[in-house]
Every structure is written in C-alpha cells, then in structure tokens.
Amino acid sequence: MAFAPSSTTSGIHLPDTARDLVKILVAGPFGVGKTTLIDSVSEIRPLHTEEPLSEASAQVDDLAGVRDKSTTTVAVDFGRISLSGGVVLYLFGTPGQERFRALWDDIAYGALGALVLVDSRRIDASFDVLGLVEDSGLPYAVAFNAFPDAPRHHTEEQLRGALDLEAGTPMVTCDARDADSSVDALLALVQHLIDRNAPEDAR
C-alpha cells in the first residue's frame, strides 16, 4: 500500500497537501488500548476525556482482565494523523463500557469506518462493540492488541471464527504502544475502505 505517515505536518495545522479528510472510529471494549493507540499515532496533542475509576464505577464496569487500569474514557478521545496522498484521518476513540452506549450514535455520525481493537485474553468482551459497529453499517477492520501476556497459540482461522468475522474483514495484530504498528493497523482499514469503494471492474 502506498500510504505512509506524512513528515510535512507540524503543529496543529493541516498540511497544505490535505485532500481527503476521513473520520475513523477507534472502538473496542474497556481497557483494550484505544487511548494508547491514538496517543501513539496522533500528530497533534490528543484530546482525552479520562477520569479516575471510582468505587462506584467498579460496581458497573467489568474489570476482569484489566484490574490494573486506574482511569477510563468517559466521552471521547481524539487525534489526527496525516498520510501520504493527502489523506488525513480524524481518529475518534469511543468509550468501551455499556453505560456510555448513548454516546455511540453521536460519535459514530459521519464516520467512514472503524478500527475495532480486540484483546485476545478476553475475546468475549468485544462482542457487544462488534455488534454496535455492524448494526451501524460501518465497514471495519479488527486489530488484536498484542498485550505481553496475550496467548500466542491461536491460529488466524480460530480467531476469525471466535469473532464470527466475514472472510473479507481485515484482521491484523498490532501493538497500540508502537506508532508504526498502530499506523499499519489503520492502513489495513483504509485499504479496506478503498477496496470497498473501488469500481467493480477495478477490484
């Protein structure tokens, strides 16, 4: 794929080469690494709406597998990345908890696609988010965030089957802490969007 991070952007202003502005959702369950991914790739200072987890929230949020997490996104994360070819991605990270579902429609409005982060240690935590994305009709790609203690023995076929993904849905592995790895995951989604919108005879 021809896209690569642009080195022409500085500060908060869009590069002069910006041609296609694309809204992308970064979705996934609580604690999967959405904020971390946006932090790792954003060329501007990311916007976060994080608050400390409280005893009250612990009663309604499933902390299984993320006991060390001390904060949570309560509205949206936002970042921006410019790619070569004049493509600029506006990244909107969505809250992962059920109690914030009312925000989903507002955040998803105008998005062209979604990158869904999955934790292979707790695959079932992703089902509700995948259902939301599919119900919205958004094309999406799945990225397994490579946590250090994540199991490595699952095959691609097993993971795809566990998530009940269609054959054409991109599925990649990334490290949300690493900019290059996170950009590669975003590029898999961008390529998927390009392929879906290409004329039939060009596919």
- pLDDT tens-place string over residues 79-97: 999 998 899 999 999 876 5
Measured CA to CA, the distance from residue 64 to residue 146 in angstroms comes to 17
Q: Please give the pLDDT value at position 55.
A: 52
* Residue type present at position 99: R
Q: Residue 151: how many CB atoms within 10 A of its CB?
A: 9
Encode pLDDT of 121-138 as tens digits.
Answer: 999 999 999 998 998 899
Q: Please give the pLDDT value at position 104.
A: 83
Q: 């992962």: which residue's tokens?
A: 96
Helices (H), the chain: 34-41, 55-58, 104-108, 127-136, 156-163, 179-197
Positions of the chain with pLDDT under 50: 1-10, 53-54, 56-61, 63, 65-67, 69, 73
